[in-house]
Amino acid sequence: MTVTPSRHPAAALRTERLELRPVRSADLPAVTRLWTDPEVRRHLGGPVIASVVRIRQRRIVGAPGFHAVVRAEDRAVLGLVTVEPAGHGGETEVSYQFLPEHWGSGYAREAVAAAVARALETVPSVVAVTQEANARSRRLLEAVGLEHEESFEEWGARQVLYRRRA
């Protein structure tokens, strides 16, 4: 995979099929679907309630670290990748959500791999946390080079912490 380098961390990141760019107002319908779709949110604590969605909508547009994943071919918003400082020892954390109709096409793997590669240009390591029961997410994280580091209980479910060092 070829990742187009950037001079500025907020700049769009392009791969062969995708663009990861700051979230725009026009992206909010797709992002709202990510937050409210029961299938997307199965391993993320369930659908987000309407009052929280409204708060998130006001905060996410142009927010640093939040990237709409857009298919280059038709500009469709496929998902969301977030790269931000996290509570795990202050490390940079990557997280992601994709609309179900785009699962199984390799888009999430391509986008997450690009985001992790970009982050590792400036930080020593990247972590990701997923539920132990989320086998698809675990396979994706392993496919992009993150390694299982520890398991723990949080939010009423077994979680798995993955890490990749630069």
Q: How far apart are CA 143 and CA 42, in angstroms?
A: 21
What is the pLDDT, as a whole number, of residue 85? 73
Beta bridge partners of 94: 83
Tell me if 56 sits within 8 A of 48, measured CB to CB: yes
What is the pLDDT, as a whole number, of residue 86? 60
What is the pLDDT, as a whole number, of residue 30? 97
What is the pLDDT, as a whole number, of residue 5? 40
CATH 3.40.630.30 assigned to 13-123: yes
For the chain, give the percent of residues with pLDDT over 70: 91
Output b/e per residue, 120-158; b: 16+ Cβ within 10 A: beeeebbbbbbbbebeebbebbeebebeeeeeeeeeeee
What is the pLDDT, as a whole number, of residue 60? 97
Mean pLDDT by 10 residues, the chain (166 residues): 42 94 97 97 93 96 96 98 75 96 97 96 94 96 97 92 95
